[in-house]
Structure 1
Amino acid sequence: MEVNKKVNNIWLLALGGNLPSHEGDPLLTLNSACKTLNRDNLRLCKVSRFYETPCFPAGAGPDYVNAAVTVESPLSASEMLRVLHEIEAEFGRERDQRWGMRTLDIDLIGGGDLVLPDLETHAEWMSLPAEEQVRKTPDQLILPHPRLQDRAFVLVPLNDVAPDWKHPVLGLTVSQMLAALPESDRKAVIPL
């Protein structure tokens, strides 16, 4: 497979949070965060419904509110990531614990057929066992997000805004990846 380095200007983003911010509860925070994705070099195109999803592991904290959006931007993937981290910080996000509770998380999920940093590294992170995922943190941006196909809390909202986007490595659309998840995972993502 050829890895295409050309950046498609439509970016897929997943948003989530389970702690209040200066805007209020997580639902208000995500709503306000969506508005910030319409500034400078960003143009918000589509917003999914908002969903409630269980905290993982169960009982570790309040449930999450999740959503997905598409954003048009001329920014590169690394520039986009920098802007998303700045927006998270505006809403009180502190990066002190990976996969911990947070006011706002905005994940860069993918863009067009872009694969970063390369196909081999992407495949390595996709196949990483769950216990290693917790311990390891990539030192570079991996796109598409290497756990995307496993996460109902990402795929259910993403299916609202980009059901036909095709994963450039797996060759599956968002709808197909979502259908492949266990029904119990899909049903745990509840529209608000």
Structure 2
Amino acid sequence: MTTVVLSIGSNLGDRMARLQSVLDGLGHAVVAVSPVYETDAWGGVEQAPFLNAVVIADDPALDSHGWLRRAHELEDAAGRVREQRWGPRTLDVDLVAVRDGGVEVISHDDALTLPHPFAHVRAFVLVPWLAVDPEATLTVAARRRRIAALLDDVDASERAGVRPTDLRLRVGTEH
């Protein structure tokens, strides 16, 4: 059983439809989805705010690199163009963590770093992840830590910048 934690975001076009396209594309693999949050863009590029969520999915046919390919397919289907680092995007689908048989996958190859090297300092990842899985943990610097504790370490102003919305993504039969 291979389970993935995906951080999804969009700040171009119909942001909500872009996020929904991820759940639709993953179909029955979706196990859980967080509420949708709005966050200001960061990385020094002036741009519109993002809608963000976290999706937990499971597919025994995919390993970590298979999940990466699937994430890129979903981004490509949404017209994702990689022109500017941390620039605006129709859809961003990041692998945050992968578990294979309940064991966290660690990867440091050229194509994929797991767990995501910056997830532990990004409130727009941690807040939705905590909402969907309050018991979640992540390995940081070879130490397994609870998401709640990692979020406590994030600057309060960044945590406050992850704003709840009334928007909800639909899973499977909720259409």
- Equivalent runs, 1:148-167 vs 2, <5 Å: 148-167=119-138
Which of residues 87, 95, 101 is equivalent to 2:88? 101
Alignment match, 1:181: 154
Q: Secondary structure at the match of 2:138?
A: coil
Q: Deviations over 1:89-116 (max 9, x none)?
A: 1011112222111000000000231111
Distance 1:62 1:72, change over 3 A: same
- TM-score, L = length of structure 2: 0.84
Residue segments in structure 2 that go unaligned for 5+ positions in a row = 166-175
Give the Å deviation of 1:59.
6.8
Quick one: which amino acid aligns to residue 60 of structure 1? E
Give the Å deviation of 1:191.
0.8
Using the alignment, how far apart are the partners of 1:72 and 1:102 within structure 2? 25
Alignment match, 2:5: 12
Over the aligned positions, Cα root-mean-square deviation in angstroms equals 1.7
> Which structure features the higher share of strand residues?
2
Using the alignment, how far apart are the partners of 2:134 and 2:152 within structure 1? 11
Residue segments in structure 1 that go unaligned for 5+ positions in a row = 1-7, 119-138
Alignment match, 2:69: 82
Distance 1:164 1:36, change over 3 A: same
- TM-score, L = length of structure 1: 0.77
Alignment match, 1:5: none
Q: Deviations over 1:118-156 (max 9, x none)?
A: 7xxxxxxxxxxxxxxxxxxxx320000010111001101
State the aligned residue count: 158
Which of residues 62, 65, 71 is equivalent to 2:57? 71
Quick one: which amino acid aligns to residue 65 of structure 1? L
Give the Å deviation of 1:57.
4.4
Using the alignment, how far apart are the partners of 2:51 and 2:144 within structure 1? 28
Query: Is 105-114 or 158-167 further displaced after alignment?
Result: 158-167
Give the Å deviation of 1:182.
1.8
Quick one: which amino acid aligns to residue 47 of structure 2? G
Alignment match, 1:128: none
Using the alignment, how far apart are the partners of 2:49 and 2:55 within structure 1? 20
Q: Secondary structure at the match of 1:103?
A: coil
